[in-house]
Amino acid sequence: MEKFVIRGGKPLHGDVYISGAKNAAVALVAATILCDEPCVLENVPEISDITKCLKILKEMGAKVELLDRHTIKIDTAGITNPSVPYELARTMRASCYFLGTLLGRFHEAFVPMPGGCDLGDRPIDQHLKAFRALGATDDIVNGNNHVRAEKLSGNQIYFDFVTVGATMNAIFASVKASGLTIIENAAKEPHIVDLANFLNSMGADIRGAGTDVIKVRGVEYLKGVTYATIPDQIEAGTYMVAAAATGGDVNICNVIPKHLESISAKLRKCGVNVVESDESVHVWVDGPLMKTSLKTMPHPGFPTDMQPQFSTLLTLADGTSIVTDDIFDNRFRYVGELRRMGADISVDGKVAVIQGVGKLHGAPVVATDLRAGAAMVIAGLAADGVTEIDNIEYIERGYEAIDEKFRKLGADIQRVYRPDADSVAMSG
C-alpha cells in the first residue's frame, strides 16, 4: 500500500494534459461485448477501474491487446458464457454494465450484485425496469443478478428519475433488440453521448443522445471500429479547482470546454479567472476567493463528482457557502477529514454549510472515496505544512498519474510505500 505525502502552499503553474474519461471508458470497454468484430479504443485512461474492466473481459474469454499505454484492441468473439467472475466484479459498480451488454448479446447475464458502497445504497431498480420493458425477466441466483429474455423487443422506457447507469444499460440492451426503443427521462452526461457515438460508428442507430429522449432502432450486426474516448470532464474540473485553491495559473489542455461550463461558471462566481479556448481552459487567480452556493444536478448541472473538490475550495473563500448534494445518500463523508485540516463545515443530511477559513493546515487524512480523495489532494496542495493521504488506491481508480501531473505543475507530492496498510477500494 502507498500514500501521498504533500508539502503544500505552492501555487500551481504550467500546462496539464487531461486523460480519457473514466466514466465513458468503462462503458466503451463493456460495449465491445456487443461488437461482432474486434475494436480499437484510443485515449483510454491508465487507471485501475479500466484495468479491472479489462481483466473481467479477459477472464470471460476476450482477447485484450495493449497497443500502447492508452490504446487497446479488444476482441470479444471468444466470450461464450454470459457470467461475470465474482472476485473482479464485486468491488466495481461499473460491472453492472455487463448486465446490459451480455443481455444484449446472449439474451442472458449473470453479474455479481455490487457489494457495500462508499456513496450509500445504490439500487439498480431502474436498470431492471428497462430490461423488463424490453422483455427480460430477472432474479437473484447465488448472489448474482440474473437477467434473461427469449427475445428482446423495442419498447418505451420511462425512468422515474435521471440515472446514468440505467440509461447506459437501456442503450446496451436495446441496440440489437428488434424494433424501436424510446428511452425517456434519459441522462444527458457527455459519457452517454460518447457511448452512443461509439455504437453508431459500429453501425447502431441511436438518436437523441445528449437530450432526455433517446431513440434506439435495433440492428443485427455491429462492425469493428477504432474510436477515441472523450477527455475526462471531472479530471479537468479537479485540476481547475486545484489551480484556484493554490492561487495558481494553469492551462488545462485536451479538454472539451463545453463539458466544463457548469464548473467554469461556479469558479467565476468565486472570483477565479477562467478563459476557454478550442481545446483548453486557462484558470488563474488574481484576487480573493469569494463564497458561492451550489447544488449538484444531473448534466448539464453541476456534477456530484466535483462536489468534494469544490467544497474544499470553498473552505478557502471569504464568507459562508451552502452546498447541497442529494444525488447520492452519502457524499459528505470526507468532511471529517477536512475538519482535521482546519475547515469549518457542518453537515445536515445532504446540505453542507461551509464557513471560509482562509487557510487549511496539513494533517494525516484518509481518502474515503475517489472524489473525496481528489479533494484531499487539493486540500493538501493548498494547505500549510505536510499532508499525508492514506487509501490512495481510491484515487487511482479514476485519476491517471495524479502525482506526476501535479509535480509537473510545481507541486511537492510524493508517493510513499506504507507497509502496514490494508484496504479495498470500492469502485464507482
Q: Any idea which residues carry the catalytic annotation?
A: 117
Under rule CB under 6 A, residue 321 binds ligand EPZ: no
Cα-Cα-Cα-Cα dihedral sign, residues 271, 273, 276, 279: negative
Q: Which is nearer to ligand EPZ, 8 or 114 (CB)?
A: 114
Asked whether position 230 contacts ligand EPZ by CB under 6 A, the answer is no
The 10 Å CB-count burial string (b at 16+, else e) for 27-60 is bbbbbbbbbeebbbbebbbebbbbebbbebbeeb
Q: Which is nearer to ligand EPZ, 26 or 381 (CB)?
A: 26
The answer to whether the CB of 402 falls within 8 A of the CB of 395 is: yes
Q: Which of these ranges, 19-27, 98-106, 218-226, 380-388, lies near ligand EPZ under the rule CB under 6 A?
A: 19-27
**Nearest distance in Å: CB 94, ligand EPZ:** 4
Amino acid letter, 346 = S
Q: Is 91 in the site for ligand EPZ (CB under 6 A)?
A: no
CA 119, CA 403: separation in Å to the nearest integer? 24
Q: Which is nearer to ligand EPZ, 26 or 214 (CB)?
A: 26
Please report how close the Cβ of residue 156 comes to ligand EPZ at its closest, in angstroms: 17
Tell me how far, at minimum, the Cβ of 63 lies from ligand EPZ, in Å.
24
Given 104, 165, 356, 373, the residue binding ligand EPZ (CB under 6 A): 165
Question: Is the separation of the CB atoms in 57 and 74 below 8 Å?
Answer: yes
Question: Hey, which residues does 71 pair with through a beta bridge?
Answer: 68
Is 231 near ligand EPZ (CB under 6 A)? no
Q: Which of 169, 258, 257, 148 is nearest to 214 (CA)?
A: 169
At 164, list the grid cell: 446514468
Packing angle, helices 164-174 and 125-133, rounded to 10: 20
* Least separation in angstroms between CB 92 and ligand EPZ: 9
Residue 328 as a binder of ligand EPZ (CB under 6 A): the answer is yes
**CB neighbour list of residue 279: distance below 8 Å, 6 or more residues apart:** 253, 254, 255, 256, 257
398 binds ligand EPZ (CB under 6 A): yes
Q: Please select the residue that binds ligand EPZ; options are 21, 34, 99, 166, rule is CB under 6 A.
A: 166
Based on CB atoms, which residue is closest to ligand EPZ, 8 or 165? 165
Residues that bind ligand EPZ (CB under 6 A): 22-23, 26, 93-94, 122-127, 163-166, 304-305, 327-328, 370-371, 398, 428
